[in-house]
Copies of this chain bind each other. A is one copy, B any other.
Amino acid sequence: MATFTNPIANIRAFNRFYTDIIGLLDRHLLHSRYSLAEARIIYEISVGENLQASQIMTAMHIDKSYLSRLLKKLEKEGLIIKKPSEQDARAMFISLTAKGLREFNILNKASDEQISAMTTGLKASDQQQLVNHMNAIMNILTKTAII
């Protein structure tokens, strides 16, 4: 079994874990309708409410030109709307349309089903533990402003 003895040696093992579990989901489930990046934009907006494009860019660590194209596509599909800021004519505020919100819920639901399918081997107690550990990691990282 691969173990995380220290952060250094871990990185590849953890990456492997990630790719297998989360990546599997993203590739096989989401890619059929939206790219991972698109799904994440939708997620970011649903969490952040009325974000500026630049904020999404920072949050996702992606190139502004790439984000620009993705937003254009999502807008064309009617999932988001952009409205220019009144304070700063350069800035765009992005928000989900009703359709975008529905899609977000569908994505979440689909994730749900996929995860269930993948984790049927897990006892409920293990599932809970998994979630707890993920939460703990999130806590440590947000607490120290790494995320």
Chain A residues with CB under 8 Å of chain B are 1-27, 36, 39-40, 43-44, 47, 59-61, 107-109, 111-112, 115-116, 118-119, 121-123, 126-127, 129-131, 133-147
Question: Contact at A3–B135, with CB atoms within 8 Å?
Answer: yes
Q: Which residues of B contact A130 (CB under 8 A)?
A: 7, 137, 140-141
Q: Are A14 and B7 in contact (CB under 8 A)?
A: no
**Contact across chains for B16 and A40 when beta carbons are under 8 A apart:** yes
**What 4 A-B pairs are tightest by C-beta distance, nearest first?**
A8-B112, A12-B43, A11-B111, A4-B134
| Cβ-defined partner of A3 (8 Å) among B11, B108, B138 | B138
Minimum CB–CB distance from A90 to chain B (whole Å) comes to 26
- Least Cβ–Cβ distance between A128 and chain B, in angstroms: 9
A131 CB to nearest chain B CB (Å): 5
With a CB–CB cut-off of 8 A, which chain B residues contact A136? 129, 133
